[in-house]
Amino acid sequence: MRKLSLSVIAFFFQLFSVFAQDDSTAYKSRKLQIDEVNFVSGYYRQDGNNSAVTGGIGTEQLSDFANTLELKLIKTDTRERKHNFSLEMGIDHYTSASSDRIDPNTLSSASRGDTRFYPSLNYSLDNTKRGFITGIGLSYSKEFDYQSVGVGANFAKASRDKNREVAIKFQAYFDSWKVIYPVELRPGNGDMYSGHHGDNERSPRNSYSASLSYSQVLNQRLQLAVLADLIFQQGLLATKYQRVYFTDNSERVENLPGNRLKLPVGLRASYFLDDRFILRVFYRFYTDNWGINGHTASLELPIKLSPFVSLSPFYRYYTQNAANYFAPYGAHIVTEEFYTSDYDLSKFQSHFFGTGIRFMPEKGVFKIRQFSMLEIRYGHYIRNTGLHSDIISLNARFK
């Protein structure tokens, strides 16, 4: 029962010695073997004063602790094609002061915190000789009021000289929401009925996306990529426990159209300044049929401090106009068909900046050869509406 503006991912330190393998025989072996293990662990915390649960006012305080463990396996067949399997298990737990206001009469309602569980399985076939990769994936996610099943397929084709690549990806998510209303707007005016504090009614929401990318190595220093996505959502897109207040002092639950079409297009460039510095820039334009137009610009400058240590400061700027259906607390007119006071759909500008440090010692982290990489990243997010957040993550890789 939450909406996070930032995604949090995370990782692990143990289990590396079990997955050790002899690099001199890895290519020759045709049996399925463990290629890589990644563990990511992250902590996210935010605060603000525009909670959608209470109509665009009130605390947005939220914290989230997330962990994912990914196991990558590889098998080479008799035609030297690589079969890649990725098994990922994720779990995170959050607490939200704003969600707790769904029923303010309780000291601490069931909506205050929740745990999300999200496993996934992916397979890809890498035909290096012919220069193409094909893959499929399956994912699942579940928390108290929500569950989702995702399926996907992807294809990539590289030129003979490996300087160009075209990739396309299709994904579909089939979600089911448990419809929960604010306590004062429930049937029976607050009577507790089946379930924790909501109805047994469930509503679907389906999302379909197609992604296309083209990447080009222009010269030894410059690489470019063009990215485009087409995303269509239909079903219950409003969050029914979010309140909306009107000019006549009446109160309703959020109501939004049952479909949404999104179109982001972007350009990414990497320029190798020299052996120590890489300049990475990104721009994206976003538009949708709810009236939002947005612009993202980001800059990252990885710096190699030594052959085994690198620093990656980054900065991202984002701006958007308000959706057609947004108005702040008490500003909506009762004759409007659709309405929301969710500040994620408002006009705002945001800044996200921080840095990461990566260690890849020749003899392994802490001189453990299989512990091949350790990365720590910190970022601070601020929005001109008053929302601010911090995120710190740790990524450990074992080969």
Residue 6 maps to a domain: no
- Sign, CA dihedral 212-218-220-221, equals negative
What is the average per-residue pLDDT within 61-66?
Answer: 94
| Long-range Cβ contact pairs of 285-288 (< 8 A, separation 24 or more) | 286/262, 286/320, 287/262, 287/263, 288/260, 288/261, 288/262, 288/263
44 touches 64 (CB < 8 A): yes
Residues 37-63, buried b or exposed e (16+ Cβ, 10 A)?
bbbbbbbbebebebbbbbbbbbbbbbb
Residue 11 maps to a domain: no
Summarised one tens digit per residue, pLDDT across range 277-288 is: 999 999 999 999
Summarised one tens digit per residue, pLDDT across range 339-397 is: 999 999 999 999 999 999 999 999 999 999 999 999 999 999 999 999 999 999 999 99
pLDDT value, residue 142: 94
pLDDT value, residue 183: 86
User: How many domains does the chain contain in total?
Assistant: 1
d(C-alpha 98, C-alpha 5), whole Å: 14
What is the average per-residue pLDDT within 113-137?
Answer: 93
Residue 109 has pLDDT above 80, yes or no: no
Q: Which two tokens stand for residue 138?
A: 């399956």
309 touches 363 (CB < 8 A): no
Residue 389 maps to a domain: yes
Q: Which residues pair with 378 in a beta bridge?
A: 355, 392
Residue 321 maps to a domain: yes
Q: Read off the pLDDT band of 79 (50, 70, 90).
A: confident
- Structural domain that includes position 251: 17-398
Extended strands (E) in the chain: 33-47, 62-76, 82-96, 113-127, 132-143, 146-158, 164-178, 202-217, 222-235, 243-245, 251-253, 259-272, 278-288, 293-300, 303-306, 309-320, 348-359, 371-383, 388-398
pLDDT value, residue 203: 84
Residue 316 maps to a domain: yes
Q: Which residues pair with 277 in a beta bridge?
A: 303
* Residue reference for tokens 């569950």: 147
Question: Model-level pTM?
Answer: 0.86
Residue 33 maps to a domain: yes
Residue 196 maps to a domain: yes
CATH of the domain at 28: 2.40.160.40
Residue 5 maps to a domain: no
